[in-house]
Chains A and B, each alone.
Chain A
Amino acid sequence: DVKVTQSSRYLVKRTGEKVFLECVQDMDHENMFWYRQDPGLGLRLIYFSYDVKMKEKGDIPEGYSVSREKKERFSLILESASTNQTSMYLCASRSPQGTAYEQYFGPGTRLTVT
């Protein structure tokens, strides 16, 4: 069974802290994605990675960075957390092979920045 896990379900951080959100997938997928989900805005793509050490900005990359040193792990970094980064963060992975094109999602991390 496919599985995407995220390091924390709930996280509370202070303004200015450096925050790491971890995502691990066990499906040997090449592509991984980070989204944030806000009420009324749906899911917005922050960053994605085609493969190890490869990354590309999504629609809202400002204030975030990512790291992909191993195929199974994709980390989202908030260099200096701010209150407007309070949100639900969702990680997803996908194999570009075949015709499936669907993404598999983790359970999400609800981050509160105070």
Chain B
Amino acid sequence: AQSVTQLDSQVPVFEEAPVELRCNYSSSVSVYLFWYVQYPNQGLQLLLKYLSGSTLVKGINGFEAEFNKSQTSFHLRKPSVHISDTAEYFCAVSDLGAGTASKLTFGTGTRLQVTL
């Protein structure tokens, strides 16, 4: 079984400041990792994903994440946030190699609140 922990339920930050949203996972097999964003009253949108290769992954809207296998982490970062980044962010893990049976396990989400 796999699990995802997002340690921070809320992260307040001022506009133009850097931000890091933390994600740790637990799995007995190799995994794929994802970050999704949910803007108010909308569904989830993929920000970025790690499947293999370079451990630094770049996504949309200036976000990036780094896969750290030894620490089982996949933290999301942005060097300078904007008001429009205010949203809820979900980390998710999918077990590798399960083919059609692979499912996503989501963390509980982190609400990023950007203020002036």
Contacts and interface: CB of A to CB of B under 8 A. Distances in A.
Nearest to B48: A102
Contacts of A4: 43
Nearest to A10: B41
Contact of A42 (B43, B45, B108): B108
Contact of B99 (A92, A96, A104, A106): A96
A99 B108 contact: no
Interface of A: 4, 30-31, 33, 35, 40-45, 48, 50, 58, 90, 92, 96, 99, 101-108
Interface residues of B, number: 25
B25 interface: no
B90 interface: yes
Contact of B42 (A35, A45, A48, A107): A107
Interface in B1-36: 6, 9, 32, 34, 36
A50 B108 contact: no
A27 B41 CA distance: 23
Contacts of B101: 50
B71 interface: no
A50 B100 contact: yes
B51 A40 contact: no
B107 A42 contact: yes
Q: Lowest 7 A-B CB distances belong to which pairs? A: A105-B43, A42-B108, A105-B44, A43-B106, A96-B100, A42-B106, A107-B43
B108 A40 contact: yes
B43 A90 contact: yes
A50 B104 CA distance: 14
Given A42-B109, A102-B34, A105-B45, A48 B103 contact: yes
B108 A108 contact: no
